[in-house]
Amino acid sequence: MTAAFQDAIVVVTGGARGIGESACRAFAAGGASVAILDIDAEAADLTRDAIAGTGTGTGTRVWSAGCDIADEKQVEDVFARIDRELGTPDVLVNNAAINPRMNPLKLSVELWNKVLATNLTGQFLCSREAGRRMVERGSGAIVNVTSIAAASALGRGNFAYAVAKAGVEAATRELAVEWARHGVRVNAVAPCQVSTHSFAAAAAELDRLGDSRLRDYERGIPIGRAATPEEVAAAIVYLASDGASMVTGVVLPVDGGNLAMNAGGSIG
């Protein structure tokens, strides 16, 4: 990758693993200085150390901090620290999320509130802090990570997660319109299943037990496989880049054609 983000400052939530880690690596490779935020501070530090020195830009720095994005004060404090340590963010990637699957009939209000606090309110809090800075400066890009679950029901206990992600898509459009004239673009990516380490481990274990559930999911993806974290990160980088300067308010599926295929359709 060329140094497309030379001297840019990028904040990634949930940056220690999976899609977030891949996004951090991609932005660092493009010359950006990256702030890795994660509720697991130790994991964020390990990812920071692994990425440090890999950026192509001479000014590339990698910084990390523990942060529970559902906590308003923690979010405000960590953005103030980023201001001091790196400078004003040019890009925010709202990636952090949780998905404790639960049958809606058994879902407690406590768990419902926890999912919405992280997956929806947390993204709002980070967008608000980054947006305040970007609007004042007159430029910036925010990329939210949502899910195909926001547009097409998955079942299997994804109720609270899907509702929160649908809220993220609405927030993406609303903030895009609110901030467009201030030079701030807001977009989202909507992945299908992603072959993170945990997904691969689950698939291997289910295969060992003769359970075909995860393979059945993949058969609903016309391309025939789950996405990789790097493929989702590439879409995030595009939406944050100058190449997408006329793109705002968009939810970009990274789903191998999943949403395009009718439930009664067939591949090939």
**How far is it, in rounded angstroms, from Cα 229 to Cα 19?**
5
Sheet holding 251-254, edge to edge: 62-66, 33-38, 9-13, 91-94, 140-145, 184-191, 251-254
Let me know: does 9 contact 89? Beta carbons within 8 Å: yes
Decide: helix, strand or coil at residue 90.
Answer: coil
Let me know: does 35 contact 11? Beta carbons within 8 Å: yes
Q: How far apart are the first and last CA of the chain?
A: 34
Q: What length is written for the chain?
A: 268
**How far is it, in rounded angstroms, from Cα 179 to Cα 186?**
8
> Which residues, including other chains, have CB under 8 Å from residue 152's CB and lie 6 or more apart?
258, 259
Q: Is 217 a catalytic residue?
A: no
Choose, from 161, 191, 227, 255, the residue flagged as catalytic.
Answer: 161
Catalytic residue ranges: 161
